[in-house]
Structure 1
Amino acid sequence: MKAKYINKFIYHIIVGGFAVLLLYPVAWLIMSSFKQSERIFLTADSLIPNPFVLSNYGQGWQGFGDYGFGTFMTNTAIFVVLVLIGHLISCTLIAFGFARLKFAGRGFWFAIMILTLMLPAEVVMIPQYIIFAKLGWLDSLKPLVIPAYFGHPFFIFLLVQFIRTIPRELDEAAIIDGCNTFGIYRRIILPLLVPALATTAIFTFYWTWDNLLGPVLYLNSPSKYTVSMALNMFLSNETVSNWGAMFAMSVVSLIPVFIIFFIFQRYVVEGISTSGLKG
């Protein structure tokens, strides 16, 4: 019994040490947002701001020109919601088709879909840009949002694996009760997909919220900039970078991420484990 408590104590010490190591950069970011911009890197070895200032948050929230940081937060929220809706609709429908419907070449097309996971984004970046430019979609959210309505291979694979754990007897019972294929999808599969859908939503939110490359490629008007682009604007190669304001707004932009994580963290493990139904 004594050895058990000693091992448990050592385990918590090691895990706690790793937690401190991983959280230190976040703590440094938060405390640096209260330092004077010119002193951030002069006192980088100290977490305590001296002097303690709040002006970084005011300067950062003012944004650039006629656009405050609230505009960039709103743009990003709209961007995230549209992509989130697209992923939830398209990925569930495609995953249901692969997991439950029988059609010619199902295995082949599923393998092709999985192979796209190995395709680097840089390979399709230029062809996609050319296509969207010819469609006249540049400087709009269309190139960033509309592809989400055609599915995402990672989430499709995740949902397919989850659906396969749901007993087919439920489908057969629904057919006996008069449900058609879409009825099975809507009444049986979707309610049981909640953990996997929550995981899809959380990862979509994370990946979309901090997406920088896509908005940089397709958005030109400052009024349409996202948070990631706005943070990059605080840095300058010609004048002095406003590190204090950038760190302050970085902290503000992290607040929605922390809120989403702490509210829905239990769904992440539950969805990825694809435990499904038992018994």
Structure 2
Amino acid sequence: MTGAHNKQNWLVHVLMIAFCFVMFYPVLWWIGASFKSTPEISLPTLFPKVWLWQNYTEGWMALPKYTFTRFFMNSLKLNVATTIIHVISASLVAFGFARLTFPLKGLWFSILLMTLMLPGQVTLIPQYTMFHFFDWINTYLPLIIPSAMGGAFFIFLIVQFIRGIPRELDESAKIDGCTWFGIYLRIIMPLTLPALITVTIFSFIWGWDEYFGPLIYLNTVDKYTVPLALRMFIDSQSAVPWGQLLAVSLLSVLPPVVIFFLAQKHFVEGIATTGLKG
């Protein structure tokens, strides 16, 4: 009986390893191709015969006038700003919907949820017209200021988490003379750490990968983000050096991957050490 059970476990492990390899194969090919020459990329081999480490250095310096350091810093500054604003604004609005009482609260929350079903293409022209009137075109303001609205998905996520926190904590704080803002700052914010970490992950990763917004609002190369720079990388070459392009694109995914794993660790710690959740 034990032998049959061990054999079954062995078979399950082999199938899981094979499945993981199939799922991870595109990433392995991507890594291997970043060290290949352009003709060798089309060959059905996973790793190159000769490892071209210079793909990374030459790819980083490939664009005229600017290195990818400029574009990485542009994306980093833009996404750090939008992420911080998203976390603050979404948590404030969510606290209002979850804890405060005001006229037409249910209606406003329903309208908020309805905006989730509104395609971005519908609001593109009015937004562009408004930002052009404000003279914000070719600045980061059209990409940063909308995050001050919180974002419907992030607000809904935090509202649902706050609703699981017992209201008795609010009443105890009121008895001690705490204001609503004090309750938000000293009780709700620490207890919603897992939700805030989730908002941080999504906001940073979505912002880092954003292509359409910067394409619409940014006109000069010195303000380009990483996705726009990668597209310009292709346009600037008559014959695209795919090895260099794959090398730089591999480097471009490292910041969101690092943010995800660091935030995931704190997310797990937050679940284990945060206060009561009903």
Q: SS at 2:235's partner residue? A: coil
Aligned-partner Cα distance in 2 for 1:170–1:38: 65
Higher alpha-carbon deviation: 255-264 or 230-239: 230-239
Q: SS at 1:166's partner residue? A: coil
Aligned-partner Cα distance in 1 for 2:134–2:190: 38
Aligned-partner Cα distance in 2 for 1:34–1:169: 59
Aligned length: 275
Q: Aligned runs of 1:79-90 on 2, under 5 Å?
A: 79-90=78-89
The one-letter code sitting in structure 2 at the alignment partner of 1:166 is I
The residue that corresponds to 1:28 in the other structure is 29
The residue that corresponds to 1:128 in the other structure is 127
Q: SS at 2:65's partner residue? A: coil
The residue that corresponds to 1:155 in the other structure is 154
The one-letter code sitting in structure 1 at the alignment partner of 2:27 is V
The residue that corresponds to 1:59 in the other structure is 58
Pick closer, same or farther for the CA change 1:125–1:19 going to 2, 3 Å: farther
Q: Aligned runs of 1:1-279 on 2, under 5 Å?
A: 2=2, 5-41=6-42, 43=43, 45-236=44-235, 239-266=238-265, 277-278=276-277
Pick closer, same or farther for the CA change 1:205–1:179 going to 2, 3 Å: same
Aligned-partner Cα distance in 1 for 2:46–2:202: 31
Q: Please say if residues 197 and 267 of structure 2, whose CA atoms lie closer than 8 Å, have aligned partners that are also in contact.
A: yes
Give the deviation of 1:271 after TM superposition. Answer: 8.3
Higher alpha-carbon deviation: 159-168 or 1-10: 1-10
Higher alpha-carbon deviation: 260-269 or 131-140: 260-269
Q: SS at 1:234's partner residue? A: helix
Normalised by the size of structure 2, how large is the TM-score?
0.92
Give the deviation of 1:30 after TM superposition. Answer: 1.1
Aligned-partner Cα distance in 2 for 1:247–1:58: 12
Runs of 5+ unmatched residues, structure 2: none
Aligned-partner Cα distance in 1 for 2:72–2:245: 14
Q: Please say if residues 196 and 270 of structure 1, whose CA atoms lie closer than 8 Å, have aligned partners that are also in contact.
A: no
Q: Please say if residues 93 and 155 of structure 2, whose CA atoms lie closer than 8 Å, have aligned partners that are also in contact.
A: yes
Identity, % of aligned positions: 47
Runs of 5+ unmatched residues, structure 1: none
Higher alpha-carbon deviation: 254-263 or 231-240: 231-240
Pick closer, same or farther for the CA change 1:33–1:237 going to 2, 3 Å: same
Pick closer, same or farther for the CA change 1:112–1:236 going to 2, 3 Å: same
Aligned-partner Cα distance in 1 for 2:64–2:187: 52
Q: SS at 1:167's partner residue? A: coil
CA displacement 1:37-62 (0-9 Å, x = unmatched): 23312x1x211112211121112111
Aligned-partner Cα distance in 1 for 2:37–2:230: 18
Two-structure CA RMSD over aligned residues (Å): 2.2
Q: SS at 1:235's partner residue? A: helix
The one-letter code sitting in structure 1 at the alignment partner of 2:26 is P
Q: SS at 2:234's partner residue? A: coil
Aligned-partner Cα distance in 2 for 1:38–1:237: 19
Q: Please say if residues 63 and 233 of structure 2, whose CA atoms lie closer than 8 Å, have aligned partners that are also in contact.
A: no
Normalised by the size of structure 1, how large is the TM-score?
0.91
Give the deviation of 1:262 after TM superposition. Answer: 2.2
Pick closer, same or farther for the CA change 1:11–1:124 going to 2, 3 Å: farther
